[in-house]
Amino acid sequence: MTLQEYDYARESPSKLAASCLLLALTMRNLGGWTPTLEYYSGYCSKDLHPLVKRLNFLFTYQPHDKLKAVHTKYSHRVFFEVAKTTPMDMLKLEEILKS
C-alpha cells in the first residue's frame, strides 16, 4: 500500500519494513519488538512508533475508489487474505505501543 503513497517515499525501506513488521506483530498479538529484532534491524521500538501509527492510519482509511489492484491481489487466499484484516483501533495501538 505504501508504494502508492508519495508520503512514504522519503522513508528508508528498512525502517518501513521494520515498522510493518511491528504493526503486524501487534495486530496479531504475537509479541512486541524483541532485543533480537532490535539488534538485526538496527531500530529500537520507540524509533518505529510514529511510522507504525501512520501505517495503521493508512490501513484504516485507505481510499476505496481508486488503485484497487493491491487490495484485490492481497484479498486472495494465496496471500492469506491479508487485505481483509481488520485495522487496529488507533487508541488501542497507542496504548500497546506505550507499554
Predicted pLDDT of residue 55? 95
Spatial distance between the Cα atoms of 39 and 46, rounded to a whole number of angstroms: 14
Integer Rg of the chain from CA: 14
User: How many residues would you count in the chain?
Assistant: 99
- The residue ranges of every structural domain in the chain are 1-96
43: how many CB neighbours lie within 10 A of its CB?
Answer: 21
- Tell me the pLDDT tens digit for each residue of 39-82: 999 999 999 999 999 999 988 887 666 678 888 888 999 998 88
- Tell me the pLDDT tens digit for each residue of 18-45: 999 999 999 999 988 999 999 999 999 9
- Cβ-Cβ contacts under 8 Å for 80 (sequence gap 6 or more): none
First to last CA, the chain: 27
Predicted pLDDT of residue 22? 96
Predicted pLDDT of residue 64? 64
CATH number, domain 1-96, options 1.10.472.10, 1.10.510.10, 3.10.20.30, 3.30.365.10: 1.10.472.10
pTM of the model: 0.86
Residue 93 has pLDDT above 90, yes or no: yes
C-alpha grid cell for residue 74?
492481497
